[in-house]
Amino acid sequence: MNLLQETELHELYEMQPQEKQIIVIKDINGLNWALRKINAANTKLNEIKSLADAERERINAWEKKVSAGLASDITFFEQKIFEYHSQILANDSEQKSIVTPYGRVRSITNEAQPERLDDEELFNYVVANQLPYVEVSTSRKLQWGELKKTLKVVQHGEEQIVVDADGQAVPGVIVKPRATTFKVEVDD
């Protein structure tokens, strides 16, 4: 902002609100005066925005730097908590939740279930077996959610496989193994 623009803003700041209300542009000089005020105000706004952007960048960098260590610490301690809870579950499978004055840890075990591996192979299987899980509109679409409800995971020798209601192995589908997930909830 140059000295002339500062003078324009100073003049603008000195005006009382009622003085601003009665301003009327009557000629080219009045128009030029108003444009100078707008120019000075725009320049000041741009300076303010530049300064604010620079400060936001500096603050964001500071936040990222400070938060990275804390986030790493949280991840470390959560992992240790999960290991501890896994040991507790190994000894007592009913203890799915542990509560302390500072929070709780919960475990959720999902059963093994079918998971799509090869959509094309699975689609061909459904069509070949004339199963009602194909959506027909302008294009064919597999109704995976409905089909999945009819599938089962069974033990076949050393491995688990996915079979349909008739016990036939379903191609294009793999077994998503049983998994236990942990959730840490810290009280504020």
Q: Whole-angstrom Cα distance, residue 42 to residue 39?
A: 5
pLDDT at 22: 86
When pLDDT is averaged across residues 25-39 and rounded to a whole number, the result is 91
pLDDT one-digit tens code per residue, 70-112: 999 999 999 999 999 999 999 998 899 999 999 999 999 888 8
Distance from the Cα of residue 154 to its chain's centroid:
35
H/E segment holding residue 38:
helix 28-91
Would you say residue 124 has pLDDT above 80?
yes
Alpha carbons 115 and 97: distance in angstroms, whole number: 28
Task: Give CA separation, 48 vs 8, 14, 79, 117, 137, in Å.
Answer: 17, 20, 45, 55, 56
Residue 175 — φ and ψ, nearest 5°?
A: -95, 120
Q: What angle do CA 56, 60, 63 make, to 5 degrees?
A: 140
CA dist 88 and 75 (Å) reads 20
List, for residues 149-184, the tens digit of each pLDDT value: 999 999 989 999 999 988 999 999 999 988 888 888
Percent of the chain with pLDDT over 90: 49
**C-alpha triplet 27, 29, 34: angle, nearest 5°:** 100
pTM over 0.85: no
What pLDDT does residue 105 have? 94
pLDDT(141) > 90: no
Backbone angles phi, psi at 63, to 5 degrees: -60, -45
Q: Is the pLDDT of residue 132 over 80?
A: yes
CA-to-CA distance for 100 and 16, rounded, in angstroms? 63
Looking at the predicted structure, is the pLDDT value of residue 138 above 70? no
Given the structure tokens 């799509």, which residue do they identify? Answer: 116
